[in-house]
Amino acid sequence: MPSPRTYPGVYIEEVPSGVRTLTGVATSITAFVGRAWRGPTNEPITIFSFTDYGRAFGGLWRDSTMSYAVQQFFANGGAQAVIVRVATRSVGNVASAASIDLGGGNVLAAANVGTWGRNLVVTVDHHTKDENEPTPDANLFNLSILDSPDLNADVAGRGGSSARETFLNVSRDSASPRFVTKVLEQQSNLVRVTSVGGARPLPASVQADITTGSDGGEIGTTEVIDPPNDTAKTGMYALLDTDLFNLLCIPPYTPTTADNGIAQTWSPAALFCKERRAFLLVDAPNNWAVADAVAGISGFSAIERTHAAIYFPRLRMSDPLQENKLEDFAPCGVVAGIMSRTDAERGVWKAPAGIEANLQGVLGLSINGLAANLTDQENGLLNPLGINCLRNLPTIGHVVWGARTLAGANALASQWKYVPVRRLALFIEETLFRGTQWVVFEPNDEPLWAQIRLNLGAFMQSLFINGAFQGSTPREAYFVKCSRETTTQTDIDNGIVNIEVGFAPLKPAEFVVIKIQQIALQAQA
């Protein structure tokens, strides 16, 4: 409101400009759902490097395809990931936490399920802050917890490093601000209190009971896509608790099996991605040959094709846990890393394919378990069906050589044929969804519509300047409409404002045709 005019002179007033800058959302935050050596289950944890993954989830583990996929993601240019660890919960095969009995009814348990907890050693001492006083508090004690992977010789096939936590002056008294149960719950990554005994534990070092703690068995669709009830955010649906993810990777449930039920995962996973404005990366089964791929792609007709892409074949890479022996790996982690790298270097509108999309750390390709490479003719069979091929090209090396969605088969004639078109649309949708929240409850008339056109138009113009759209002028490249043309009086009466945004996406140059002809010199007259 203007300040009251009470005296002759000059008055300064700040007038709102109406400009609300829209900042583009991230485009390549990748969510991984799978088995891990350790870490919280059914809880999305954000990490920024494979070192972060090692601290939270224990690093590489031979039984965890996800651990390798995450490593390959960061090795190929990935920058941010969200990890959801799942573990078996079926009767008779439930993953459980290791137990540490400190005596006197004082029992601790590993902070999360798995055999990793058998490596824990807990040391108790009574050198508390008041030990030299005439009447020291009999409830106080100190805890030191050591996690040493070298202690448990029967656990193999994983990497990791030691960790130690120390908690001074914790108390058995539930009324104390240092109540041991609350302190460990809030501050420890290693242990939780199972029960508090009738007296404080005696000074000693106690190793976890190696008969407790189980990794459970091989995970399946029950752990990934079947929540135990309608409200439980478990498995893939734990991602409902994360603000944003753009790509979803669900690596094969086991390193060796061809399917193991994962085919049942793709349809709900793709639908989930559609709801969250994300994109699913599908790994072709490891027993596919070219003929199997041609026949098997029809099996994906039931999934939300426009929000998913499939990559074939498998990758041959060295396994650090097996003295760098070559093993076959699903490509989703590598491809997600390449998408992240391409987004950072060129933009989400650039197809994550071509000679720049080189597969870091890949030493070969595997078809149906055998070292092989696709020919141009085989690529020509698969590409029109919407199967993105991974190739080894002379001089160039191993690259992604396809950029189609699962709706990219020529027969489908979908407007969402190409991966960069779909991902650019998702980026714009998510940015506009977040960037127009201020509009809610504003007066629904021309001043508001003008502000909307100004702010959304500025965002679309920035994308045009950066080369995200076709067209040589903004008019050819995009439009933003919000006026009486889009919002009628009936809409206004119903509290609705309609905004229309259109853009002309860039399509990748899949086929480069060079025409050559001979010319004859004309004789001089």
Domain containing residue 249: CATH number:
3.40.50.11780
- Let me know if residue 5 belongs to a domain: no
Across residues 135-145, what is the average pLDDT?
94
First-to-last CA distance in the chain?
87
Residues 364 and 383 placed together within one structural domain of the fold: yes
Q: Residue 1: pLDDT above 70?
A: no
Q: Residue 159: pLDDT above 60?
A: no
The token duo for 18 is: 């109406």
The token duo for 379 is: 């690529």
Residues 408 and 313 placed together within one structural domain of the fold: yes
Q: What is the pLDDT of residue 257?
A: 66
Q: Residue 18: pLDDT above 90?
A: no
Q: What is the pLDDT of residue 157?
A: 52
Q: Residues 350, 420: contact at Cβ < 8 Å?
A: yes
The token duo for 514 is: 């060079």
Q: Residue 49: pLDDT above 50?
A: yes
Between CA 134 and CA 243 the distance in angstroms is: 54
Q: Tell me: the pLDDT tens digits for 309-326? A: 999 999 999 999 999 999
pLDDT band at residue 525 using 50, 70 and 90 as cut-offs: low
Across residues 17-43, what is the average pLDDT?
93
Residues 413 and 448 placed together within one structural domain of the fold: no
Q: Residues 413, 405: contact at Cβ < 8 Å?
A: no
Which residue's structure tokens are 């734990």? Answer: 238
Residues 454 and 346 placed together within one structural domain of the fold: no
pLDDT band at residue 148 using 50, 70 and 90 as cut-offs: confident
Range of weakest confidence among 91-95, 307-311, 354-358: 91-95
pLDDT band at residue 180 using 50, 70 and 90 as cut-offs: very high
- Let me know if residue 143 belongs to a domain: yes
Residues 226 and 365 placed together within one structural domain of the fold: yes
CA-based angle 325:218:37, to the nearest 5?
Answer: 65
Residues 129 and 276 placed together within one structural domain of the fold: no
Which one of 388, 421, 454 terminates a domain?
421
Residues 176 and 84 placed together within one structural domain of the fold: no
Q: Residue 503: pLDDT above 90?
A: yes
Find which of 88-92, 296-300, 444-448 is predicted with most confidence, using mean pLDDT. Answer: 444-448
Residues 282 and 352 placed together within one structural domain of the fold: yes
Across residues 171-186, what is the average pLDDT?
95
Q: In angstroms, how far apart are the furthest CA atoms of the chain? A: 124
Residues 282 and 367 placed together within one structural domain of the fold: yes
Return phi, psi of residue 451, to 5°. -65, -40
Which one of 207, 225, 250 terminates a domain?
207
Residues 165 and 273 placed together within one structural domain of the fold: no
Residue-averaged pLDDT of the chain: 92
Which one of 207, 227, 249 terminates a domain?
207
| Domain enclosing residue 474, as ranges | 443-525
Q: Residue 304: pLDDT above 80?
A: yes
Q: Residue 376: pLDDT above 50?
A: yes
pLDDT band at residue 155 using 50, 70 and 90 as cut-offs: very low
Q: What is the pLDDT of residue 514?
A: 86
Which residue's structure tokens are 């509290």? Answer: 495
Q: What is the pLDDT of residue 156?
A: 47
Count CB neighbours of 144 within 10 A: 15
Residues 143 and 201 placed together within one structural domain of the fold: yes
What per-residue string of b and e applies to 16-41 under the rule 16 or more CB within 10 Å gives b? eeeebebebbbbbbbbbbbbbbbbbb
Across residues 164-190, what is the average pLDDT?
95
pLDDT band at residue 154 using 50, 70 and 90 as cut-offs: very low
Across residues 389-393, what is the average pLDDT?
97
- Let me know if residue 105 belongs to a domain: yes
Q: Residues 189, 111: contact at Cβ < 8 Å?
A: yes
Across residues 14-21, what is the average pLDDT?
81
- Let me know if residue 438 belongs to a domain: no
- Let me know if residue 435 belongs to a domain: no
How many domains are contained in the chain?
Answer: 3
Q: What is the pLDDT of residue 153?
A: 42
Between CA 237 and CA 495 the distance in angstroms is: 33
- Let me know if residue 514 belongs to a domain: yes
Return phi, psi of residue 45, to 5°. -120, 125
Q: What is the pLDDT of residue 302?
A: 81
pLDDT band at residue 60 using 50, 70 and 90 as cut-offs: very high
Q: Residue 290: pLDDT above 90?
A: yes
- Let me know if residue 239 belongs to a domain: yes
Cβ neighbours of residue 274 under 8 Å, at least 6 residues apart? 304, 306, 307
Higher pLDDT, residue 88 or 16: 88
Q: Residues 283, 332: contact at Cβ < 8 Å?
A: yes
Across residues 400-428, what is the average pLDDT?
96
Q: What is the pLDDT of residue 520?
A: 81
Q: Residue 419: pLDDT above 80?
A: yes
Q: Residues 431, 469: contact at Cβ < 8 Å?
A: no
- Let me know if residue 14 belongs to a domain: no
Residues 281 and 169 placed together within one structural domain of the fold: no
